[in-house]
Amino acid sequence: DMSCLDEYNITRNNKLAFDLVEKELGVAPIMRASDMTTRGKIDQLSMVAYLTQIRNALTEKHTPA
Give the model confidence (pLDDT) of 15-56 as tens digits. 999 999 999 999 999 999 988 888 777 888 999 999 999 999
In three-state form (DSSP H/G/I as H, E/B as E, the rest C), the secondary structure along 19-61 is HHHHHHHCCCCCCCHHHHHCCCCCCHHHHHHHHHHHHHHHHHH
Q: What is the pLDDT of residue 10?
A: 92
Domains in the chain: boundaries: 2-61
Q: What is the pLDDT of residue 56?
A: 97
**0.85 exceeded by the pTM?**
no
Model confidence at 65: pLDDT above 80: no
